Amino acid sequence: MLRIFTSITSIKEGHLSITGEKARYLTSVLRCRKGDELIVFDGRNNCFRTTIVQVNRREVIAEVLNKFPCDSEAPLHIILAQGLLKGEKMDMVIQKATELGVKEIIPIVTERSQVRETRKVSRWKKIAEEASKQSGRSIVPIVHEPIQFNDYISSLITHHPSPLLNGLIFYEEGGMKLSEAVALLITHLASLFVIIGPEGGFTKEEVTLAKEKGLIVTTLGKRILRAETAAISAVTLVQFLLGDIG
């Protein structure tokens, strides 16, 4: 069945209207026709099962058959801070992190980042939306604008003043085992920061700064993983240990 995310401002006489880029996507890409069934997500854990009753490139009107809750979200609010990656690697991380249930994605610029600025944020938002739709999520993760590593660490302290942050920074040159690191986290935590470096990883100075600010330094083992592999592996393991996988 066709599925789409869109903001729903109102439902009039049992019908909702989809306009703009979403309408063009439904008509030009998905080739929707009158009579097709469509699941509409509003991004606020509400789903609407509808039947399309009118189609044109500017507007698609659908009759609402029923509304139902569609909360498929993990109880843990994972925020992935990912060092900017080259080419399509960042696209992959955005896509897979979304499928795995990450709630926010923050691109960070580190000392070893080979990419230091980007105009791809709007592209990444679309990738996150498509991945949310494909995986049956009820929200689309927030993809933030890139931020410098030191500024990001400082912002964590500003917004989360605590001797120990609920955050893990993954370092290929050492750190405690993930199972031990998780045991140090505050119990019943609502949110967790997962911080992954770019190609080449973090510098010792960056890891030292993160540790001084209360983040836990951990590792994925002795093998050196590609940055995109590390991100996907870290989120998967965190969701298994603390979230809703397994």
Closest CA to 192 of 72, 94, 83, 76: 76
Range from 84-88, 146-150, 155-159 carrying the lowest mean pLDDT = 155-159
Distance CA 246, CA 8 (A): 33
3-state secondary structure of 91: helix
Query: Which run of H or E residues covers position 167?
Result: strand 167-170
Side-chain-side CA neighbours of residue 64 (13 Å): 18
Same domain, 28 and 139: no
**Residue 139, pLDDT score:** 84
- Name the domain count of the chain: 2
**Residue 70, pLDDT score:** 76
**Residue 188, pLDDT score:** 62
At residue 46, does pLDDT exceed 90? no
Whether the pTM exceeds 0.85: the reply is no
Q: pLDDT tens digits, residue range 215-227?
A: 999 999 989 899 9
CATH number at residue 238: 3.40.1280.10
Distance CA 80, CA 192 (A): 9
Same domain, 54 and 119: no
Contact 242, 76 (CB under 8 A): yes
- Across the range 133-143, mean pLDDT stands at 87
Token pair belonging to 190: 């609502």
Q: List phi, psi (to 5°) of 201.
A: 75, -170
Same domain, 63 and 90: no
Same domain, 10 and 59: yes
Token pair belonging to 90: 């960042």
* Mean pLDDT of the chain, nearest integer: 88
Contact 244, 102 (CB under 8 A): no
Strand partners, 2: 38
Same domain, 85 and 65: no
Of residues 220 and 164, more confidently modeled: 220
Q: Which of 69-73, 124-128, 134-138, 152-156 has the highest mean pLDDT?
A: 124-128
Question: Which domain, by its residues, includes 141?
Answer: 77-242
